[in-house]
Structure 1
Amino acid sequence: MRRETTATTTLALACAAQFIVIFDISVITVALPSIQRDLGFAPANLQWVVSGYTLAFAGLLLLGGRLADLCGHKRVFVSALTAFTAASLVGGLATVPAVLIAARAAQGVAAAALAPLALTMLTTTFPEGPLRTRAFTIWTALGLAGGASGNLFGGVLTEYLTWRSILLVNVPLGVPVILVAARFLTRRDTSAHGVRLDVPGAVLATVALIMLTFGIAQAHTHAWTDLATALPLLGGTAALAAFVAVETKLAPQPLIPPRLFRLPGVSRGNLAMLLGGACFHIPMWYFLTLTMQDVLHYSAVQTGLGFLPHTVVMLLVGLFLTPRLMRFVQPRILIATGALIAAGGFLWQSGITPSSGYGTGILGPAVLVSFGTGLVGTPVSTTITNGVASADAGAVSGLLNTTRQFGGAFGLAVLLTLTATHATDAPAVLADSYQRAFRGIAVILLALAALAPLLPAQHLAGRRRPVETGPSAEDRRDPRNVQ
């Protein structure tokens, strides 16, 4: 009975952590226009409210996955969630842009330790078999619920309270979880001998991601040859080169073993994940939120409700249709098909104007975009992880999540360079600006569709292996038939 109680508590804590981490990625988007007006964000800097979180999360995710092996599950869980809650409080009380961006980055750092630990807790608590499968299903569903509910709750909280409430709500959510974890979570100090933290690699990776994204973002208001753009890009490139040198030559236990990139699924699959991340979720939510509020003049609640078709279609296709299709259709075909369908949806979305109605301006494109998104996500993940040895599963999973998060932040910075820099809030001008971003997303998706045929094929569970048509087993055993 005590063991069952401990397992149930661990599952509840892991699900709570996953919900909070994913919720805070999506909840902020609907509040962006309100944050911009209240704190006086320049249009080019508004993206850092989102990217500050995702870049810190992406850059330190691999390091965070190993932190618990050295410091223990309970200690890292309580410390990371406490830091996340404190950063949420600081962000909710921020009065200047710099404080809010710093708080969001601090949230990302804490999330980088919290997210992989939640999955590790389930793996070490539940044995392989039905119990672990059920635990993973519940954990995945709570993560999807966090992402799906973020836009809606973000709209409600912003409309009826204030944008600050979307950060301050983490305090009453986080404190009870911290107290339960401190009281009931089993102390699981692995004391893993020989495990080392590749701190230099993690720092260089984070610096490279931030500087490259910042350099691209600077191109929105400066020329590519301007020092404000060129210096961050050069610095980010140098940090990336140093990261590669550390991982290949110096690190005794690199965050990403270089040999993994010799696997076609890992190398090409992560490129596909990068392109997909540069279109879906963060960039899509960002530009759709601004379009609905700045061009169509929807309220925060109306914007949150406007995202419901995206959420419903994406969940239905991703959870029910795609897994069934993957039994009979190669993942690379599903990726190419989904990318083309979503590209068509974004091209439709790029025709939105201030006079567009919800049906043709939002709902129609949403069905195509979300249907295509639902076809792409799981096939890309399975392509990356297929055939990877169990000893490398953690590193590959961490790389997958890092690529997805960085793709979102980097893609947003690139797409912002396509938008106008006019200091005006005229709906027609803003509509033209966001139209270019949607067309840019469509182009990236066409590149993803072109890459898909180069991804490795996989064995399909629902398709029978070919029947052997050569000599029968009896004939092969007959010495007279041996030539």
Structure 2
Amino acid sequence: MPSRTQPARPSTPRTYSRWASLVVLCAGTLMTVLDGNIVTVALPAVQSDLGFSAPGLAWVVNAYLIPFGGLLLLAGRLGDLLGRKRMFTAGLAVFTVASVLCGVADGPGVLVAARALQGVGGAMTSAVVLGMLVALFPEPREQGRAIAVFSAVGAAGGALGTFLGGALTQALNWHWIFLINLPIGAAALIAALRILTPDRGSGLGGGADYPGAALVTGALMLTVYTIVGTGERGLGSTLALGALALALFAGFTLRQARAARPLLRLRLFRSRTLTSANGVQILMIAGMFGFQYLGALYLQRVLGYGELLTGAAFLPAPVTIGALMLTLSAPAIARYGPYRVLLAGLALITAGLALLGRVPAEGAYVTHVLPPLLLLSVGFAAAMPAVTGLAMADTGAQDAGLASGLFNTTQVVGGSLGLAVLTTLAASRTGRLTGAGEPAVAATADGYRLAFTVAAAVTATALALTAALLRPRRDPSTHPHGSAPDHRNVNSPSPEGCTPPPNSGRKLS
């Protein structure tokens, strides 16, 4: 009698919750965000140890920003084509290896080269995160909570980097601001490989426009290079580089309009919401990034704070931002809509920067720094999740990675632009005053006051653009009393609002 064989049970792959995947995405983001700010406080120690010249020291920051900003758009598109998990994990690996190379650098050239490699890994990781998040959480209310958590990690991580940079440099040495990424990166990479569900991209044949990629990457890198080096070259050279960057962008636009498989679908920019939200973000980040850099310098050069005390002075910012984003941002956006929450956040940011525009040379932290710091923190906790949701609202599943890369690109451009313009203004005002015989500390404080005042004007412009371009359209047939809620896609009549197509969340959830 033939023996019966039991049918083999199908193996069930182990699955993880979407929130576990969100933790992994946030961990990768936290590492790249921390590294963007952790270097600032340690720059004097790096200069003393490795023998950087004063102009050359800026390249410890610039070498990271240029490839990071230049490759975000390309990395986002490649994530759509090759798979976002694959791009995310590859970026984590590159960033972690580059961090170790930075930590063991024994000369200026090695450190700058390793920082550039870090920028490549950071772009690969950051470019696809928002696209993965939107796919994981297609339902509007859950998506709002997830974006709030993600934004809290990014915003608080930026301020926390200043504290960690001071603490590690003073307690150990500057090498550890990079070496600390090794255990964090290794843990995040292992978790990403185990927890994130693989997604299948459309394949390189679905849109690998290599000439277009070369044009836009060159244009973005040249733009960031032009911005971050503004204070080191003459006006003529800056204008020439800017004109060349514009020519590359023009060539890229023509290429995309005619290519059979364009890298960037120009129809994305038909969305007023996406285009306006990215424009508002450039201005908002320009003001906030300038504050983080110049605020740390004000504490050190005017108030005489050391590295550790400077980092500790910024701690209320990540605590406030993290607490508000995790508890109040998503409910506020769900109740009042992203438009109103963004308006309120930008108003608070503008008020905080305006107050900083009055800080005296004999200022006190509790009286003159802490109140505007808290206003900025509350405003950013409100504004960042709101503008993120608006920027991703009109994005379909096939373009989520590209839109994510675009959003991160405008962050880098805004930060680079704000840093270059505000530091140049502050240095120029300080130089004129010291040349006229004013004491150095008083002249330095006056330069920072000018920069903070200009930053307030920049965020006020973002507030005006939000009011003019992102105001939600009401449908009188659906809301006869004129009280339509605006917590969904503010410019689309679609009932799905900011929810991506139903299949956009299945591959990763």
Q: TM-score, normalised by structure 1?
A: 0.81
Q: 1:45 to 1:266 in 2, by over 3 A?
A: farther
Instruction: State the match for 1:231 in structure 2.
Output: 240
**TM-fit CA distance, 1:454:** 1.2
User: Pick from 391, 405, 410: which aligns with 1:384?
Assistant: 391
Paired with 1:181 and 1:163, the residues of 2 have a C-alpha distance of 28
Q: Residue 16 in 1 paired to residue 32 in 2? A: no
**TM-fit CA distance, 1:65:** 2.6
Contact 2:95 2:122 in 1 (8 A): yes
Q: 1:114 to 1:381 in 2, by over 3 A?
A: closer
Q: In structure 2, give the amino acid aligned to 1:345.
A: G
Q: Residue 35 in 1 paired to residue 49 in 2? A: no
User: Pick from 453, 470, 487: which aligns with 1:456?
Assistant: 470
Q: In structure 2, give the amino acid aligned to 1:259.
A: R
Query: Unmatched 5+ residue regions in structure 2?
Result: 1-11, 483-509
SS at match of 2:208: coil
Contact 2:100 2:179 in 1 (8 A): yes
Paired with 1:117 and 1:449, the residues of 2 have a C-alpha distance of 28
**TM-fit CA distance, 1:259:** 1.5
**TM-fit CA distance, 1:167:** 0.9
Paired with 1:388 and 1:67, the residues of 2 have a C-alpha distance of 16
**TM-fit CA distance, 1:41:** 4.8
Contact 1:341 1:372 in 2 (8 A): yes
User: Pick from 218, 225, 231: which aligns with 1:207?
Assistant: 218
Paired with 2:19 and 2:280, the residues of 1 have a C-alpha distance of 37
Superposed counterparts of 1:233-272, under 5 Å: 233-250=242-259, 252-255=261-264, 257-272=265-280
Instruction: State the match for 1:418 in structure 2.
Output: 425
Instruction: State the match for 1:440 in structure 2.
Output: 454
Stretch deviating more after TM superposition (207-216 or 83-92): 207-216
Q: 1:43 to 1:418 in 2, by over 3 A?
A: farther
Q: 1:70 to 1:24 in 2, by over 3 A?
A: same
Q: 1:82 to 1:315 in 2, by over 3 A?
A: closer
Contact 1:93 1:164 in 2 (8 A): yes
Instruction: State the match for 2:60 in structure 1.
Output: 49
Contact 2:77 2:263 in 1 (8 A): no
Superposed counterparts of 1:60-459, under 5 Å: 60-68=71-79, 70-71=81-82, 76-117=87-128, 142-143=153-154, 146-178=157-189, 190=201, 192=203, 194-225=205-236, 228-250=237-259, 252-255=261-264, 257-280=265-288, 282-327=289-334, 329=336, 331-420=338-427, 422=431, 426-458=440-472
Contact 2:152 2:326 in 1 (8 A): no
Q: 1:206 to 1:133 in 2, by over 3 A?
A: same
Contact 2:102 2:114 in 1 (8 A): yes
Q: 1:202 to 1:47 in 2, by over 3 A?
A: farther
Q: Tell which has more relative contact order, 1 or 2 (C-alpha 8 A, sep 6+).
A: 2
Contact 2:134 2:400 in 1 (8 A): no
User: Pick from 462, 472, 480: which aligns with 1:466?
Assistant: 480
**TM-fit CA distance, 1:451:** 1.4
SS at match of 1:418: helix
Q: In structure 2, give the amino acid aligned to 1:81.
A: L
Q: In structure 2, give the amino acid aligned to 1:456.
A: L
Q: 1:264 to 1:4 in 2, by over 3 A?
A: closer
After superposition, what is the alpha-carbon deviation per residue over 1:282-309, rounded to whole angstroms, capped at 9, x for unaligned?
3222111212122222122211111122
**TM-fit CA distance, 1:407:** 0.9
Contact 1:318 1:377 in 2 (8 A): no
Paired with 2:47 and 2:373, the residues of 1 have a C-alpha distance of 25
**TM-fit CA distance, 1:158:** 1.3
Q: In structure 2, give the amino acid aligned to 1:58.
A: G
SS at match of 1:326: helix
Paired with 1:279 and 1:181, the residues of 2 have a C-alpha distance of 34
Paired with 2:337 and 2:322, the residues of 1 have a C-alpha distance of 21
After superposition, what is the alpha-carbon deviation per residue over 1:319-345, rounded to whole angstroms, capped at 9, x for unaligned?
444434434546444434433332222
Paired with 2:47 and 2:118, the residues of 1 have a C-alpha distance of 20
**TM-fit CA distance, 1:253:** 2.6
Q: 1:341 to 1:135 in 2, by over 3 A?
A: closer
**TM-fit CA distance, 1:275:** 0.8
Contact 1:54 1:406 in 2 (8 A): no
**TM-fit CA distance, 1:401:** 1.9
Paired with 1:8 and 1:216, the residues of 2 have a C-alpha distance of 38
**TM-fit CA distance, 1:418:** 0.6
**TM-fit CA distance, 1:50:** 3.3
RMSD: 3.7
After superposition, what is the alpha-carbon deviation per residue over 1:76-103, rounded to whole angstroms, capped at 9, x for unaligned?
4554323212211222233444443332
Paired with 1:438 and 1:161, the residues of 2 have a C-alpha distance of 33
Q: In structure 2, give the amino acid aligned to 1:341.
A: L
Instruction: State the match for 2:6 in structure 1.
Output: none
Q: 1:253 to 1:42 in 2, by over 3 A?
A: same
Stretch deviating more after TM superposition (96-105 or 367-376): 96-105
SS at match of 1:220: helix
Paired with 2:143 and 2:351, the residues of 1 have a C-alpha distance of 39
**TM-fit CA distance, 1:406:** 1.5
Q: 1:116 to 1:271 in 2, by over 3 A?
A: closer
Q: In structure 2, give the amino acid aligned to 1:169.
A: I
Q: In structure 2, give the amino acid aligned to 1:455.
A: L
